[in-house]
């Protein structure tokens, strides 16, 4: 049985969606950030950076949200959340998942925690403002692709990338220009949010739906 170490609405949310979608049994293990539990030595044996999430799959211990999502998709190919290896569609999945985790997600860290990205206390506002501008530009790229060939990032087929996108769109609810205002993203988020797997994960984490408002 899988174990997902999580905290509500953290980067564990996308793997939580995926676990619900594949229907495999799993246990949720709360890592209470209010108590700084992610820095507890016992937890850091599993995740040496002291971050959330961590997945335990038997003897395998895996951190990094995107890696967990890909692993789960590959462990359950019949669910269809990742195209076959060495196909063009699989390459597109890599592209979008890496774009979400390597381009968009770091700018959210700068947006929410600007004080960690500068040693100059007077530069905090500038860090937050520039991060938000980069987020707007990156979401415009995602939206254009969804408008051109959606409703999902891989076209007609849902994938782990769409669950990851939904997580990031929820994080964007505090931006001046919410990503959900964009037509393609809004359509994708509505479709993914309506899935029973997302409904169950949201209820388990005490999160309100819809995410885009």
Is the pLDDT at 213 greater than 50? The verdict is no
CA distance 184 to 206: 27
Q: For residue range 80-118, what is the model confidence (pLDDT) as tens digits? A: 999 999 999 999 999 999 999 999 999 999 999 999 998
Strands ordered across the beta sheet of 26-30: 26-30, 2-6, 54-57, 60-63
Contact between 15 and 53 under an 8 Å Cβ cutoff? The reply is yes
Mean pLDDT, residues 66-73 taken together: 98
Using an 8 Å Cβ cutoff, are 197 and 21 in contact? yes
**What is the pLDDT at residue 172?**
94
| Predicted local distance difference test score (pLDDT) of residue 210 | 74
Identify whether the C-beta of residue 196 lies closer than 8 Å to the C-beta of residue 54: no
Question: Is the predicted pLDDT of residue 122 greater than 90, yes or no?
Answer: no
Is the separation of the CB atoms in 4 and 12 below 8 Å?
yes
Contact by Cβ (8 Å): 160, 72: yes
Q: Pull the structure tokens for residue 145.
A: 């692709």
pTM of the model: 0.96
Cβ atoms 53, 6 nearer than 8 A: yes
* Structural domains of the chain, ranges and CATH numbers in brackets: 2-79 (3.40.30.10), 88-195 (1.20.1050.10)
At residue 114, the pLDDT reads 93
Contacts of 18 (CB under 8 A, 6+ apart): 68, 69, 72, 73, 81, 160, 163
CA gap 118, 114 in Å, rounded: 7
> pLDDT, tens digit, for every residue of 151-209?
999 999 999 999 999 999 999 998 999 999 999 999 999 999 999 999 999 999 999 88
């Amino acid at each position: 049985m899988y174990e997902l170490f999580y905290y509500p609405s953290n980067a564990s949310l996308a793997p939580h969606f995926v676990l619900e979608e594949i229907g495999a049994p799993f246990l949720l293990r709360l890592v209470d950030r209010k108590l700084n539990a992610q820095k507890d030595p016992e937890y850091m044996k599993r995740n040496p950076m002291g971050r959330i999430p961590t997945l335990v799959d038997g003897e395998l211990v895996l951190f990094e949200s995107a890696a967990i999502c890909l692993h789960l998709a590959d462990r359950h190919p019949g669910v269809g959340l990742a195209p076959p290896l060495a196909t063009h569609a699989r390459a597109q999945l890599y592209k979008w998942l890496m774009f979400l985790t390597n381009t968009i997600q770091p700018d959210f860290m700068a947006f929410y925690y600007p004080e960690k990205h500068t040693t100059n206390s007077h530069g905090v506002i500038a860090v937050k403002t520039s991060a938000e501008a980069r987020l707007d530009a990156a979401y415009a790229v995602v939206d254009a692709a969804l408008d051109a060939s959606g409703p999902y990032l891989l076209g007609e087929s849902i994938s782990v990338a769409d669950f990851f996108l939904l997580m990031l769109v929820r994080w964007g609810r505090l931006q001046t220009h919410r990503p959900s205002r964009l037509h393609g993203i809004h359509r994708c988020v509505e479709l993914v949010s309506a899935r029973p797997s997302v409904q169950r994960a949201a209820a388990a984490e005490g999160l309100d739906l819809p995410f885009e408002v």
